[in-house]
Structure 1
Amino acid sequence: MAAPTITREAPPRRVPARRTRPGWLLLLPALVALVILFVVPLVNVVVDSFTEPSAGLGNYTSLFTDGYTLKVLGRTLVVAFTVAVVGGLLAFPYAYAMTLAGPMMRAVLVTVVLVPFWTSMLARNFAWLVLMQDGGVVQDILRFLGFGNVTLLGTTLAVGISMTQVLLPFLVLPMYTAMEQIDGRLVAAGQSLGAPKYRAFRRVYLPLARPGVLAGMSLAFVLALGFYVTPALLGSTRNAMIAQVINVRTKELLDFGGAGAMGMFLFVVTLVVLGLSRRMAGAVTGLVAPARSEKASEVRPWLRIYTTVVGFLLVAPTLVVIPMSFSSTQTFRFPPQGWSLRWYHELFTSPEWVASILNSLQVGFFTALLATLLGTAAAFGLARLSSRWRGPVNGFLLSPMIVPHILVALAVFSVALRLGLNGTLIGIILAHTALAVPFVVIAVTARLQGMDGRLTGVAASLGAHPVNAFRRVTLPLVLPGILSGAVLAFVTSLDEVVIALFLQAPGAITLPVQMFNSVTVQIDPTISAASSLMVVLVSVPILFAQIAGARRGNRGKR
């Protein structure tokens, strides 16, 4: 008789300590940098909100009792909510059409969505300023439709229109990601059971698309809360939003306590919205679509027309900015009355503009360098952590992305004043590095997850030293992700304006700040040429990174 065997339940798999230890060492530089550059300034804002000008809850009490402040808070929440809802309604059919289109048309639609990412934020707002000014194209169209001389510039409506267009890609992409995973046969199955098509779509498809819809709308709402540039350029002091009030209280009144209370209110609202969105979205599992067919599904004519209109709305600012840069007149008029290169000549000969371009390139280069080093090391460190720690640490590394931008600017400005970094390029570089690190972490982590981890083991079994295995095997495979992260870090710094506005000084003015001042302070048409330059500086690196990644991917398939 065979001896009985005793079976024991296998303990949960743990990452060996010798593997997690290097992970923490690789994470340490990024964690320390974010604590110093991001967490400490935010904590300082919290302390100021309870202690300046006197200790207590006075700043928070006035936040909810002062009539003007309550009006601004209410307006900000209403505008952000409206932008999220209207943007969601515009984005949903477009994202749905992307799932039905064939490979070529889908590539075109995705490219159109990405165009706003390749266009400078200030350039887009400048374009809307030109279009919505008195006598502009939008007013002419409304007059033609019988609405009379409608004044848009300086109104909340103008701010909402521009914000919706700017945030539309942030709504489309999450929706498309969720819809792409839905098995299209489920709607057909509902119809085969007797449900009309619209009911099957409403009862089957919409619930499955809900996570993407809520993710996109909550992201748009959170981003809209902290918008400063758009309300400052297209709105007015009569319909100010909370970011404008924070700016005035901080830079003109030096009321760090009151501004800090407003910033913390935005932060709490952000956390609540993101938490509710995650809870309402739920998890959709087991309904993943099969491999996508190369054959396009039927796209109805009305949907084709709709996607064309929305696509035009997405690229409209770019179509305005570039022709405006060749205008021969000193007015912001579109279409231009004449053609000339005078504004490019002014851009590259004016000491102020040349200095701002060089400052932006310098800040962008060092930001990309620091963020790439910190973010790449952090991504490798995350890959070595146990699952118990990986989630929280990754959430901390990505936290600068969810904090309202105006709150980050307030926190950085407060600390920079005390450390003597205000008005210096070093201060801007350090602040931009904290914002850019998450983009590098995301890009490199995505590349690491797509890499076969057994390759380094194979190299080691063939006698390769760990350093050689990393240099000859791991690094070439991860390099596209590192380059993508570096490009994103550079572009993030190059296009950032709010923090640079807070930290500006005569010797530390970046190109976006010079562009902002040219509209709000001196009305300099050179901004049209600068906007076109920003489009090139932002889009060319991204396109180059995409082409390089595609070429490396093609080499890997051979």
Structure 2
Amino acid sequence: MSAPTATAGAPTTGRPAPAWVGRAYASGWLLLLPSLVALVVLFVVPLASIVVDSFTEPSTGLGNYSSLFTDGYTIRVLSRTLLVALVVSVVGVLLAYPYAYAMTLVGPTMRAVLVTVVLIPFWTSMLARNFAWMVLMQDGGVIQDMLRPFGLGDVTLLGTTLAVAISMTQVLLPFLVLPMYSAMEQIDGRLLAAGQSLGAPRTRAFRRIYLPLSTPGVVAGMSLVFVLALGFYVTPALLGSTRTAMIAQVINVRTKELLDFGGAGAMGMFLLAVTLVVLGLSRRVAGRNVAAVAAGGQPARTRASGERSSNVRPWLKAHTTVVAILLAAPTLVVIPMSFSSAQTFRFPPDGWSLRWYRELFTSPEWIAAILNSLQVGIFTALFATVLGTTAAFGLTRLRPRARGALNGFLLSPMIVPHILVALVVFSAFLRLGLNGTLIGIILAHTALAVPFVVIAVTARLQGMDRRLSSVAASLGASPVSVFRRVTLPLVMPGILSGAVLAFVTSLDEVVIALFLQAPGAITLPVQMFNSVTVQIDPTISAASSLMVVLVSVPILLAQVAGARRGKGGTR
């Protein structure tokens, strides 16, 4: 039997489909080819090289891997990294679950406020957030002043594992809230009411009904946060110390200072193995509960906004307020700090001045870093948008089995710990002579940004009515006309969103740029990192505020443009 060639969703008119539809699968592979080649060259081949180095450098064998579990220092570093990642995941769940639950209870206006608060960390530069926590936790800082009345004395936080865990929890909290909220929105609120009507107390009904149905969101968010925490470098480097080093810091030292690619590669492979195990287990656990989530049906919206808001208990309101303050705290610190007149990092400022903005826009080093970041971000967005968009179109034309495997392959740079990506890129580019060049940073950022474009464009394509293209073709329009007049306008919001995400990803990326930096290839995040760790330059406060603007404005503009397009489409 021959398989039908009509695309999914096309109307069955009884007439044969156009000839170009029968070539969809072949054209899908052609569209995927550029991104697949780029990913293989920039990521897969260098990763394979690191794997080989881990078994052959400095001598052939399993010495690098055996040292992971026999060397006392390495064991302590690995244990500390795994423990911090686990603590951040667990504490994050305890903070995020009630917040996400509150988002499902409040009315539309308050829900929009809570969602905006969750998105604030995404709009704030990673370095800016860590700089804010460094200011808050320093000796004589706000947190120390707040703890002193409780008889705790001058508690030293900066340079400790606790400081690293606090900052990582705040940074990763949105990655827990959003998956949980997405799962909770699929739960029919009437199930809880039914359980209570059958005599179950509210607490038991919540524990036996609501909690199991929301488990997929908890598992997805917790596994994602655990994996991301394993590869954190900037936060431990700024808020921790050499005595409390995590595995990313050790990989950095072994790679850049000792050129021990074998030992660093073994550590990277260990992180990758843990990542794959965690994601595999979480997928199995969440997969078994997906049907349960679906059984809950769509969320009930029968109650008025005011009635739903009244169900938020006082303790839940208090918890939500505390979490919202925690999410917004770094942004509330960074911006006032940029107008400080002091030559030290102090909050709140003792006086006000624009001196650090003048320094930012008159210093040759800072201006060069800003221009480099804009140049790298624009080219990264251009390359990643072209590659990711063609890949997304190609994926939609493949059979489901091939589509799933290739989609996972295209998204692999997001799954691999960030420090391992930096190690892979540094090792490969060192051999190719691309270290210390802007083109090297652009290529590395492109590999990192392509997945974001693929996700954005694929989501838009999946939400598009495929019958529109089929109808246009049946009316005699050529494939080029169908694409230009029908498909492209419908997909353009996804393409623009992907381009913005690629630009923001490149603009805020610091780990890979730190590995590839050179005097002529220093981006703004690298300059900010160096201003804290090397120069102790308060200009970073103004640079942090600038980063907040550079990251948030494109996202806000994309959202406004998407909203306007949505309104225009409904008229």
Fold match, TM over 0.5? yes
2:340 to 327, 339, 349: 327
CA distance in 1, matches of 2:387, 2:285: 34
Change (3 A) 1:17 1:48: farther
Q: Does 1:378 align with 2:394?
A: no
Displacement, 1:276?
Answer: 1.0
State the partner residue of 2:315: 302
2:63 to 58, 67, 77: 58
In structure 2, C-alpha distance between the alignment counterparts of 1:439 and 1:294, rounded to whole Å: 37
User: CA offset at residue 179 of structure 1?
Assistant: 0.5
Letter in 1 for 2:304: K
Structure 2, unaligned runs of 5 or more: 8-20
Alpha-carbon displacement from aligned partner over 1:358-417 (angstroms, at most 9, x marks no partner): 000000000000000000000000111111211101111111101000000000000011
Alignment correspondent of 2:282: 277
Structure 1 residues 241 and 14: alpha-carbon distance in aligned structure 2, compared to 1, 3 A threshold: farther
Give the Cα–Cα distance (whole angstroms) in 2 for the partners of residues 295 and 11 of structure 1. 50
1:13 deviates by 7.8
Alignment partner of 1:257 is 2:262:
yes
Per the alignment, residue 189 of structure 2 pairs with 184
Q: CA RMSD in A?
A: 1.3
Which residue number in structure 2 is paired with residue 388 of structure 1? Answer: 401
**1:194-273 paired onto structure 2 within 5 Å:** 194-273=199-278
- 1:475 corresponds to 2:488: yes
Aligned mates of 1:213, 1:23 — CA distance in 2: 35
Match for residue 556 of structure 1? 569
Aligned partners of 1:17 and 1:86: how far apart in 2?
52
Tell me the equivalent position of 2:76. Answer: 71
| Equivalence map 1:60-209=2 (5 Å) | 60-209=65-214
What are the ranges of 5 or more consecutive residues in structure 1 without an aligned counterpart? 1-8
How far, CA to CA, are the matches of 1:316 and 1:499 in structure 2? 27
Post-superposition shift, 1:300?
1.3
Quote the residue 1:357 is aligned against.
Answer: 370
The alignment-based identity, stated in percent, is 81
Q: How does 1:378-417 map to 2 (within 5 A)?
A: 378-417=391-430
> Displacement of 1:264 after TM fit?
0.4
In structure 1, distance between residues paired with 2:548 and 2:32 = 34
- Once the 2 structures are TM-superposed, how far is the Cα of residue 11 of structure 1 from its aligned partner? 6.5
| Deviation for aligned residue 1:145 | 2.2
- Conserved 8 A contact 1:102-1:294: no
Deviations 1:43-66 (A, max 9, x none): 111011001011110100111100
Indicate the SS of the match to 1:521: helix
CA distance in 2 between counterparts of 1:525 and 1:422 reads 29
- Contact 1:114–1:169 (8 Å) recurs in 2: yes
2:537 is matched with 524
The CA deviation at 1:462 is 2.6
Distance in 2 (CA, whole Å) between partners of 1:103 and 1:10 is 51
Deviation, structure 1 residue 148: 1.1
1:292 corresponds to 2:301 = yes
Preserved CA contact (<8 Å) 2:185 2:299: no
Deviations 1:206-261, CA, capped at 9 Å, x for gaps: 00000000111111100000000000000000000000000000000010000000
Task: Give the deviation of 1:475 after TM superposition.
Answer: 0.7
Q: Quote the residue 1:366 is aligned against.
A: 379
Contact 2:452–2:501 (8 Å) recurs in 1:
yes
Q: In the alignment, does 2:469 pair up with 1:456?
A: yes
Deviation (angstroms), 1:290: 4.3
CA contact (8 A) 1:25 1:381 kept: yes
Note the C-alpha offset of 1:31: 0.6
Distance 2:95 2:111 in 1: 17
Please report how far the alpha carbon of residue 17 of structure 1 lies from its aligned counterpart in structure 2 after TM superposition: 5.2
Separation in 2 of the partners of 1:178 and 1:435? 27
User: What TM-score results when the alignment is normalised by the length of structure 2?
Assistant: 0.95
Q: Distance in 2 between matches of 1:295 and 1:151?
A: 49
Answer whether contact 1:329 1:337 (CA < 8 A) is retained. Answer: yes
Equivalent pairs counted in the alignment come to 550
Counterparts of 1:441 and 1:279, CA distance in 2: 24
- Which whole-Å CA distance do the structure 1 matches of 2:401 and 2:92 have between them? 37
Amino acid at match of 2:296: L
- Matched residues in 1 for 2:427 and 2:62: separation? 20
1:314 equivalent to 2:323? Answer: no
One-letter amino acid of the counterpart of residue 77, structure 2 = V
| C-alpha contact (below 8 Å) 1:14/1:386 kept by paired residues | no
Q: Please identify, of 131-140 and 460-469, the stretch whose mean Cα deviation from structure 2 is larger.
A: 460-469
Query: Corresponding residue for 1:6?
Result: none
* Alpha-carbon displacement from aligned partner over 1:320-359 (angstroms, at most 9, x marks no partner): 0000000001000000010000000000000000000000
Conserved 8 A contact 1:103-1:294: no
Match of 1:466 in 2: 479
CA distance in 2, matches of 1:272, 1:38: 21
